[in-house]
């Protein structure tokens, strides 16, 4: 299936700053997922969202399932160097689609 529109493609931020990234689609999804991938590793699930409007936190991470069911965002507050990596969104309805990833660099 067509990939999701994820932005930004990359971010360079200073340690301590907040980060925001989002995914949009022309299709409706029943589930939104956010993953983080470190170099040489497999993706690790950060947050799973199952209902429109749902807002879920996991430590410094917060994600929301858009009310239209066509978008989702992920926020990271007070970034630290170990937040470096590629963040992927994924949406599932009849099939599973992924965003192209947001590559995050955090400067100490």
| CA 108 from centroid of its chain's CA atoms | 22
Out of 13, 52, 84, 86, the only residue in the binding site for another protein (CB under 8 A) is: 86
- Specify the DSSP class assigned to residue 82: G
Sequence-distant (6+) residues with CB within 8 A of 69 are 28, 29, 30, 52
Any bridge partners for residue 22, and if so which? Answer: 7, 73
- Among 14, 41, 82, 108, the residue binding another protein under the rule CB under 8 A is 41
Considering only the stretches 18-26, 31-39, 60-68, 71-79, report the one whose residues sit in contact with another protein under the rule CB under 8 A: 31-39
Task: Give the CA angle between residues 34, 38, 43 to the nearest 5°.
Answer: 40
Kindly state the smallest distance separating residue 91's Cβ from another protein, in Å.
10
Which of residues 44 and 78 has its CB atom nearest to another protein in the complex? 44
Cβ proximity to another protein, 44 vs 80, nearer residue: 44
User: What's the min distance (Å) between Cβ of 93 and another protein?
Assistant: 11
**Smallest Cα–Cα separation from 48: which of 60, 68, 37, 64?**
64
Stretch that binds another protein, among 18-26, 37-45, 65-73, 77-85 (CB under 8 A): 37-45
């Amino acid at each position: 299936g067509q990939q999701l529109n994820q932005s930004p493609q990359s971010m360079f931020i200073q340690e301590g700053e907040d980060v925001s990234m989002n995914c949009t689609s022309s299709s409706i999804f029943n589930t939104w997922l956010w993953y983080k991938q470190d170099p040489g590793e497999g993706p690790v699930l950060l947050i799973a969202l199952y209902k429109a409007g749902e807002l879920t936190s996991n430590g410094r991470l917060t994600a929301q399932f858009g009310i239209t069911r066509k978008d989702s965002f992920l926020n990271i507050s007070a970034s630290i160097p170990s937040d470096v990596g590629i963040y992927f969104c994924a949406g599932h309805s009849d099939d599973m689609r992924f965003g192209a990833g947001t590559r995050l660099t955090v400067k100490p």
